[in-house]
Structure 1
Amino acid sequence: MPPRSKKVRVSIANLQKARKFRQRQRQPDRNEAEVTKKTPEQKAHEAQTLWQTFEDITAATWASRSTSA
């Protein structure tokens, strides 16, 4: 087998670095997900808050349209 060129060695090293980096990036997410499991009440409250925000934005949008028209 012929010796590898510098380009090939560098690209292999970069691939290995990228793989390590991605693994490191992925791990905190998994740990966080275990720590911050939401209760059904929290989920319901969050959904209610989001819906209320959506309704407020919609109302404001319609109000501004009706006054400008």
Structure 2
Amino acid sequence: MDLSKKSAENVAYMVEKIKEKLKVLNFDAIKPSHFSEEWYDELKDIYEMVMRKNTFSPSEMQAIAEELGNLRKK
């Protein structure tokens, strides 16, 4: 997948991969439709950071969740 292009499809892909990696239990809490392409670069930064790491501390998971919350459409 070419994530260098801003698209709704890429947003959906990144959100799903972040959810998988973080083992999000409440899948409805994070949906691709919650995110706008306006915040694509920020979402991509989070995606890349999440994909680089193998494990996350509770505080890291909390910080990621907060950042994703900040990027949600208002």
Give TM-score, length-normalised by structure 2: 0.24
Give TM-score, length-normalised by structure 1: 0.25
More helix by share: 1
Per chain length, whose mean CA-contact separation is higher, i.e. which structure has more relative contact order (CA < 8 Å, sep 6+)? 2
